[in-house]
Amino acid sequence: MKPTHIDPERDILAVWHDRGNVAAWSRAVRERRIASRRLVTDAAVVSTVCTRSPRRVIDLGCGEGWLVRALAERGIDALGVDAVPALIEVARAAGGGRYRVMDYAAVAAGELRERADVVVCNFSLLGCESVDALLRAIPLLLSPAGVLVIQTLHPWSACDEAPYRDGWREGSWTGCGDGFGEAAPWYFRTLAGWQQAFLAAGLALAAVDEPLHPETGRPVSILFTLQPQA
């Protein structure tokens, strides 16, 4: 972590409030430029969500809305929530679902007032305290028997050469194409770190999926399916 990140939680949002990044990101997603998403992780999250046969889904940190559209196409009532107005603008312009501009702090404070059979966070849990607070609010967003589905970087591959311990890392747009400015910092979590966050939020692990890269045979991401603790 460079010392320039006095407040990395704030820096994450700042990067996404940059219109140039929003435009470059929307292009990267819509033109399917990110190989891991195209080959593995897009299908993995759709499949894991649909396994639960949800009628309603809330996509937290929905970005430009591809997952909301994919679920809406399958007849699911999908609500996308994102802190960044410009992302919600491009999402709405593409149609196919409902959208709300709201940051995680507001969701954590109970302001969303929606319930769904599945709440999904697809590569959208990038912070530390902001994520811990959000996770604690998840049970209020779930209908009875509802689940939270998180897809995130697999701790093994994401760890890279750095020490295997929870902590802030420098971000990068590598593999996303061009047109990007500054990248956002992100909070690396070990498997044990994720489990601690789930426990603190009263969420119990119901399933783990580790979708594999078709060529390397290594896990590309990890999907946690969680239920409020009984």
Binding site for a second copy (CB under 8 A): 156, 163-165, 190-192, 195-196, 199, 204-210, 212, 217-219, 222, 229-230
The nearer residue to a second copy, 24 or 222, going by C-beta atoms, is 222
Among candidate residues 188, 62, 172, 183, the one with its CA nearest the CA of residue 128? 188
Residue whose CB is less far from a second copy, 19 or 218: 218
To the nearest whole angstrom, how small is the minimum distance from the Cβ of residue 29 to a second copy? 26
Categorise residue 159: left if φ over 0, alpha if ψ from -120 to 50, beta otherwise: alpha
| Shortest reach from residue 200's CB to a second copy, in Å | 11
Contact predicate 102/126, CB 8 Å? no
- The minimum distance between CB 202 and a second copy, in angstroms, equals 13
CA 205 to CA 11: how far, in whole Å? Answer: 30
CA 188 to centroid of chain Cα atoms? 14
Cα(124)–Cα(60) distance, rounded to whole angstroms? 7
Count CB-CB contacts under 10 A for residue 215. Answer: 7
CA 180 – CA 133 distance, rounded (Å): 29
For residue 50, the minimal CB distance to a second copy (Å) is 18
Q: Quote the least distance from Cβ 190 to a second copy, whole Å.
A: 6
Q: Which is nearer to a second copy, 143 or 190 (CB)?
A: 190
The smaller minimum CB distance to a second copy, of residues 58 and 226, is found at 226
What angle, 0 to 180 degrees and rounded to 10, lies between the N-to-C axes of helices 8-16 and 19-30? 70
Q: Is residue 1 exposed (0-12), middle (13-18) or buried (19+ Cβ within 10 Å)? A: exposed
Complex with a second copy: residue 51 or 196, whichever CB lies closer: 196
Find the shortest distance in angstroms from Cβ 38 to a second copy: 20
Residue with smaller CB distance to a second copy, 1 or 164: 164
